[in-house]
Amino acid sequence: MSTCGTCWREFPAGWQSRQQHMDATGHNPPDFECDTCDRYFGNQHAVNQHMTDVDHWAESSGSDEPEFECDDWRLAIDTACAAFTWYLIHEPFLSQI
């Protein structure tokens, strides 16, 4: 059962009905809510303990690829590709220098 963190109204139909209520009223979810289930707690430590106890931490993508917070990696890839392309084009002439 989902609960509104502002008026504490309970929504037996689940999170979608709570979300509709919050959108309509400007209310918010409870401050310390589990990311996976609809349980909420008095503080962040209690949420973390619950999530550890019942393995409710979000699954990672399983990828070894680093997660980037900005688009700087695109510039690095573009730069590396441009340098490699330049080398492929000019490599035959480099030996003549």
**Whole-structure pTM value:** 0.48
Confidence class of residue 58 from pLDDT cuts 50, 70 and 90? confident
Judge contact between 56 and 34, C-beta under 8 A.
yes
- If you compute the radius of gyration of the chain from its CA atoms, what whole number of angstroms results? 25
3-state secondary structure of 45: helix
CA angle 5, 18, 37 (to 5 degrees): 75
Output b/e per residue, 52-71; b: 16+ Cβ within 10 A.
eeeeeeeeeeeeeeeeeeee
Average pLDDT over residues 71-88: 62
Convert the pLDDT of each residue in 14-55 to its tens digit.
888 999 999 999 999 888 888 888 788 989 999 999 999 999
